[in-house]
Amino acid sequence: MILSERGTVESVDGDQARVRLAPDRPEVCAGCRACEPAGQGGFLLQVEAGDLRPGDRVTVEVPMPGPWRAIGFVLALPLVALVGGAAVGAEWQALQQWLGLGADATALLAALVLAALALAAAALGERRFRRRHRPRVTHVDRGDPAARRLPGERPV
């Protein structure tokens, strides 16, 4: 899934540009966490600068993980880890003796530890997705036709 928003380049610092977005549906933008809230319903997004200049109107695409990926990472993985941890903790006699706890307490502890590890894995997976799928500028509007082309586009 890809979100597409229009914004204005606010500043360029080296190879990064800050784009101010004022989305039509700010609640959707707030949920993606690719931007920083900038007050008054606006958001700031970092993109590769390329040949962008402050004041340019741009269209930005932000890749989003699909809903099934989110459901799997946030709901299914911790639930499976919770149930698996409870089963392992209740049946693994050596673990119970090593911890010095009964079957129920060991099952609860193992379930909580595995669920916490699953949530940590989900957070790392999300961070990895963000690193690999960065927001990108797909259209630049500076007012003159030659400046609106993306790099590599030929004049018409």
The tens digit of pLDDT for each residue in 119-150 reads: 888 888 877 877 777 777 877 877 655 554 55
Has residue 15 got a pLDDT over 60? yes
9's tokens: 């380049």
Tokens 């741009």 belong to residue: 58
Residues in the chain: 156
- Give 76-114 pLDDT, tens digit per residue: 888 888 888 888 888 888 888 888 888 888 888 888 888
Q: How many CB atoms lie within 10 A of CB 90?
A: 18
Residues sharing a CB contact under 8 Å with residue 40, sequence separation 6 or more, in sequence order: none
The answer to pTM > 0.75 is no
- Can you tell me the distance from the alpha carbon of 60 to that of 105, in angstroms, rounded to the nearest whole number? 51
Which CATH superfamily, name and number, covers 2-65+133-148?
Answer: Nucleic acid-binding proteins (2.40.50.140)
